[in-house]
Amino acid sequence: MDAAVIFAVSVLYGPTFLKCIPHSLSSLSRMQNRKSKALSKTSEVEGRRKVSFGDQKDQEHQGNERDADRPASMGAGRLSFSHLSAASTESLSSSGSQSPSAAFGPPRLRLDSSNQSPSLDAGWGHFDDSEFPPSSAVPPPAAPVDTSPSTVANGRVPQHHNKSRAAYNKHIMPRRVILIRHGQSEGNVNEEIYATKPDPDLLLTPSGWKQARSSGRALKEGCGSRWSGIPVGKESIHFVVSPYARTVETFHGVLDAFVPASNYKHIKDEGERMQAWYAELRRLGITWHEDPRIREQDFGNYQHPEHMKQYKRDRHRYGAFYYRFPHGESASDVYDRVSTFLDSLWRSFEAQKADNYVIVTHGASIRVLLTRYFRYSVDEYNRLSNPCNGEMVLLAHDGHGKLELRGRIQLKEPSGQEDEEKETECYEFHSTLRTRPVTHTRLRTVRMSDEL
């Protein structure tokens, strides 16, 4: 029965099956042709890739020769796989796509290298060599981080990028960074004015203008022997100014030592007179820009004198660094925005090169800037006295990509009538910062253990 069925099927469908065989063979031939063409195309692409990679290596070699004179940390101006560690390159090839952070290996941890805080003596302002300014826009090469127990127990991890970071900072760093507090303002002599006039609009008093001009003369020529033997007036200067009215007027008073504003009295229109003055300053190579991040600490919109007295008593009990004034800021808030200012300041050093950077700002901002850069503790911040009106704090490049504290230039009260030419003698140089007595500061109470 089965044989009969098979014979019948073969008789009925055999001719049709034989007709399909040529079509099947033709389809198979076309598939093989397509496969061979694809393989040929793939080999051509691989060949072009090899040639391109070889040309890229030649170009990188030529670029490295051109950039041989540049600092190591600045790189050759392009990204190549040489910036990746071997482990990171292997992870890229094995995992396909990864996030940029994963591609560059583990995060570079930075631990405090010492539990010792800076002392309040002549050496105050120096910090550990393993720490560098918050800094450059050029990322350092990645490298494995030693997180062995012995290393972590000693409170540090290897700073593998210190040399490249120091080379970059040394390349862009100005000779000096000078912090100037504004001259005497209307609010310094009459606190009641804060209740009726916005803090940003307070102007300089006549004494404040005199202090600003004295600061300018000291900056230009009077303190050259203190500042590496070269008067600042003979070097390029870039100013960074708080946008408050009293700091802008202080900036104008300082500039008067370089180009007297009285030279433009013949111009009647005030706007045209200022534009002509600015043009002459730019011609001399003096540049400037405003930055609101170094403005005064915000104590509230309108400050009633009696309320402010109570707020300041509360601040002393609560802690000066953390107490936030109603509708205002705490010192820790100022610390946060000053931190972003310092980060961008290093980019300004590169974009706007100058021998000297002069920052015209406020007393609280100066103390926070010093605390942030030199990593002072909160207790040390509380011990810092507010700079006097017109006082200058000098930071100098140490030659290794870091700033160090050189001292402060403080205005002395004149004992009598003095000539304008001798006003710079009203300044005296101090190698240390002024501090408050310990009895006038609120120190933290921290226990070593609950069992002792």
Residues annotated in a binding site for substrate: 181-188, 246
Q: Is 158 exposed, middle or buried (0-12, 13-18, 19+ CB in 10 A)?
A: middle
Q: Name the maximum alpha-carbon separation found in the chain.
A: 139
Going by the DSSP 8-state scheme, the letter that residue 119 receives in this structure is P
Return the amino acid letter for 354.
Answer: A
Do residues 67 and 77 touch, judged by C-beta distance below 8 A? Answer: yes
Helix and strand numbers (H, E) in the chain are 13, 7
* 428, β-bridge pairs: 410
- What letter does residue 388 receive in the DSSP assignment? P
Q: Which of 161, 249, 296, 423 is catalytic?
A: 296
Active-site annotation holder among 182, 252, 362, 397? 182
Detail the residues annotated as belonging to a binding site: 181-188, 246
Query: Is 329 annotated as catalytic?
Result: no
Match 């061979």 to its residue by tokens: 36
Would you give the distance in Å from CA 327 to the centre of its chain? Answer: 28
Break the chain down into helix, strand, coil percent, rounded to 5. Answer: 50, 10, 40
Length of the chain: 452
Catalytic, 171? Answer no
- C-alpha dihedral, 133 to 137 to 141 to 145, nearest 10°: 40
The alpha carbons of the chain give a radius of gyration, in whole angstroms, of 34
Q: At what angle are helices 363-374 and 331-351 packed, to 10 degrees?
A: 70
Active-site residue set: 182, 296
